[in-house]
Amino acid sequence: MSEDMWAGVRERVLRLVEHPGAGKVFGARGHGFRLGPVMGEEQIRALEADLGVSLPAQYRSFLLHVGAGGAGPDYGLMTPVMGDDGWRWLGVGLAFPAQPTTAEFAGRPFVAEALQSELDALETQEPTPDAFATDEEFGRAHAAWDARYEELYDAQEAGAVFLSEQGCGYASLLVMTGPHRGAIWEDLRPADRGIEPTGHDFAHWYRRWLERTERQLETWQGEDDAVLRTP
């Protein structure tokens, strides 16, 4: 079933670059409607060994039948790459890549929701100068508070892959572990909104982008044709 889901998708994506309006699509400057080669089963099993869990089924099938990365929502999809220190997702061929993610980090438990509650509580506990006798005491207390905040902030990213850069610091993440495995979440922390679910799985998220882009280009083509026919 997952293989059928991707039938013809690679060809549809690669054809988009031939459209005269392709360069106007948001994110096209980042990925150029290029897709990397598909991955083989042996490569994917090696990636999963580093990850410590199997890849979400829809994404796994995408890697096997569409491509390892490249054209996709916003500025394009990151690519799993094997390096000297193991597998990680990198912005191969992308002009605006998202944050790299190691397989080991992505294989940890995904607990962003619980950590957000801790972060919210911690924000209310930020030390203030008037609560301390000296500047030195305040400085030590605030440094300890800040270190804990950064620890929780970074830990929110565990269990997921930074899959696509949206721009302005926002990103789309693919959850790899836990009850939300296979779902797309958004990192909206630059807007003080945390890491939030989109309500979409990987296949819906990707195919919706493709279908929306095809409709957009068809609309633009129709408008251009109408202008040319105008006396």
Beta pairing class for 160-167 and 101-102: unpaired
Q: In which band, very low, low, confident or very high, does the pLDDT at 230 lie, cut at 50, 70 and 90?
A: low
In 3D space, the residue among 184, 210, 178 whose CA is nearest the CA of residue 5 turns out to be 210
pLDDT for the residue 82: 97
CA Rg, the chain, in Å? Answer: 21
pLDDT for the residue 154: 84
User: Per CATH, which fold does 2-111+156-206 belong to?
Assistant: SMI1/KNR4-like (3.40.1580)
Chain centroid to Cα 97, Å, comes to 10
pLDDT for the residue 192: 83
pTM above threshold 0.85: yes
Q: Is 8 helix (H, G, I), strand (E, B) or coil?
A: coil
**CA-to-CA dists, residue 209 to 19, 73, 140, angstroms:** 16, 6, 48
Asked if 166 and 172 touch (Cβ cutoff 8 Å), the reply is yes
The region of weakest confidence among 12-21, 119-128, 217-226 is 217-226
